[in-house]
Amino acid sequence: MGGFIKALRDGEWLTAERARLWAIALLLASLAAVLYILATAEGLNDYQGRPIGTDFSNVYAAGSYVLEGRPEAPFDSPTQHAREREIFGVATPFYGWHYPPFFLFVAALLAVLPYLPALALWQGATLAFYLLCIRAIVGREKSNLWLLLALAYPAVFINLGHGHNGFLTAALMGFALVLLDRRPVVAGILFGLLAYKPQFGLLIPLVLIATERWKTFAAAAATVGMLALAATLAFGPQVWPAFFASTAFTREVVLEAGNTGWHRIQTVFSWVRMWGGPIPLAYTVQILVTLALSIGLVWLWRSGTSMAIKASGLIIASLLATPYSLDYDLMALAPAIAFWASEGISRGFRSWEKTTLAAIWIVPLVARSFAEATLIPLTAPLLLAAFVLLLRRAAEVTSTRTLWLFSRAR
C-alpha cells in the first residue's frame, strides 16, 4: 500500500508511453462513438430521437428566429421549444437558449446553412481554434504527444456530442492568457469575447485589477460594451428585457431546481444540492468558496511564480467560482492542463502534481456517470485540490526566492 501511495505522490507511473497508449485508446473510442451516432441517425436526429449535436439545436433554432426578424423569440422558452420541435420533430426535448444577445450574431450566421453543415462548420472551426491555442501554450515541442492528448481529452468527445461551444471557450481563455504580457490589448479583447459565457468571467476582472493590467482591463470592458451596442443596434433594445427575463428560468429551473440533473452540473453549488442541501445553503457554500478562491487567486497572481501556474490557477478558479458549469464546459480545463504540464516538464513536477493532472484530464469521461450512480461528485473536489497544489507550488517558489534575496543581502 505504501508503494502505491508513493507512486501516486511521485507520479512515477505516468510515463510518456503510458500517456500515449491511453490517449490513443480514448481517441479511437471517441471516434467510434461519433461514427456510431452518425451511422444510426435518422435525418437530423440520433438513435435516441434527439437532434444530432443536441445542444447545438438551440443555437440553430435561435438563429432561424433572427433571420426572420424575431431576435427576442429565443429568450421565451415555449417559443424556442416550438421552433426546435418544428425543425427536429414533435418529440424533441427542450434545449434552452441561455446566451446574451450578442451571441445571436453567431447563431444567425450558422442558421444560414442547413443544419448538419452548420454543425460541422461550428465544431470544426472551433476545434481548430482550440488546437492552435494548445499549440501556442506548449510551444515548439518536438513530440506531437501534445496534439494526441489535446484531441483525446475526453471533454472533446462530450463537446462534439453536444455540439457545444467548449472549444471556443477554451481557446479564448487560453489565447488571452498566452498573450496577456506580450499583447495586453489583444488579450483584453479575447477576455471580452468570453462575455458570451459570463459565468466564467467572475474572477478575470479581479485578477486584472489586482495586477494593475489596466490596458487589458480597458480593452475587455470596451469589447463587452461594443458587443452590447452592436446587439442593441442590430436587434433592437427590446432584446435586453427579453434576455434578463429569461435568466429567471435559467436560475430557477435549470440551476436551483436541477432539471438538467445535479450529476451534469460540475460545481460546488450542485454538490450541495445533490446531497440534499437547501438552495440558501448551496448559495452560501458557493459564495464562501468563491471568496476563498478570490483571495487565493489574488495572492497567486501577485506572487513570484510563473505565468503558466498563474494562468492554470485562473482557469481552474474560474470554473470553481461559478454555480453553473456542466461537464462539456470542462473543455476549458484543457489549456489549464497544458500550462501546468508545460511548467512541470520545464521546471520539474512537485509531489502529487502528475497524478492530479492525469485525474483532471480523465475526469470528464466519468464525472457525470459516477455522480449519477453514486451521488459522489468528482470534479469540484478534484479542482479544489488542484488549486491548493498550485498555491503550494507558488508558495515554494516565493519562499525560495525570498531566501535567495536574503542571502544576497547578507
Query: 181-204: buried (b, 16+ CB within 10 Å) or exposed (e) per residue?
Result: eebbebbbbbbbbbbbbebbbbbb
Residues contacting 342, CB < 8 A, separation 6+: 137, 138, 139, 308
* Rounded distance between C-alpha atoms, residue 246 and residue 97, angstroms: 9
146 assigned to some structural domain: yes
* Rounded distance between C-alpha atoms, residue 209 and residue 343, angstroms: 25
100 assigned to some structural domain: no
53 assigned to some structural domain: no
Q: What phi, psi does 180 have (nearest 5°)? A: -55, -45
Q: How many residues in the chain?
A: 410
Confidence (pLDDT) at 11: 80
CA-closest candidate to residue 64, choices 82, 38, 46, 48: 82
Question: How many domains in the chain?
Answer: 1
Residues contacting 280, CB < 8 A, separation 6+: none
CA-closest candidate to residue 162, choices 298, 247, 18, 57: 57
CA-closest candidate to residue 391, choices 319, 322, 293: 293
CA-closest candidate to residue 59, choices 20, 21, 120, 104: 104
7 assigned to some structural domain: yes
195 assigned to some structural domain: yes
pLDDT tens, N- to C-terminus, the chain (410 residues): 677 788 788 888 888 889 999 999 999 999 999 999 999 999 999 999 999 999 999 999 999 999 999 999 999 999 999 999 999 999 999 998 999 999 999 999 999 999 999 999 999 999 999 999 999 999 876 578 999 999 999 999 999 999 999 999 999 999 999 999 999 999 999 999 999 999 999 999 999 999 999 999 999 999 999 999 999 999 999 999 999 999 988 888 888 888 888 999 999 999 999 999 999 999 999 999 999 999 999 999 999 999 999 999 999 999 999 999 998 999 999 999 999 999 999 999 999 999 999 999 999 999 999 999 999 999 999 999 999 999 999 998 776 554 444 455 45
What pTM value is reported for the model?
Answer: 0.93
Confidence (pLDDT) at 179: 97
Please calculate the CA angle 133-154-26 and round it to the nearest 5 degrees.
Answer: 115
Which three-class secondary structure state does DSSP give residue 326? strand
* Rounded distance between C-alpha atoms, residue 270 and residue 166, angstroms: 20
64 assigned to some structural domain: no
The DSSP secondary-structure symbol of 254 reads I
220 assigned to some structural domain: yes
Q: Which residue range(s) make up the domain with 22?
A: 2-41+122-409
67 assigned to some structural domain: no
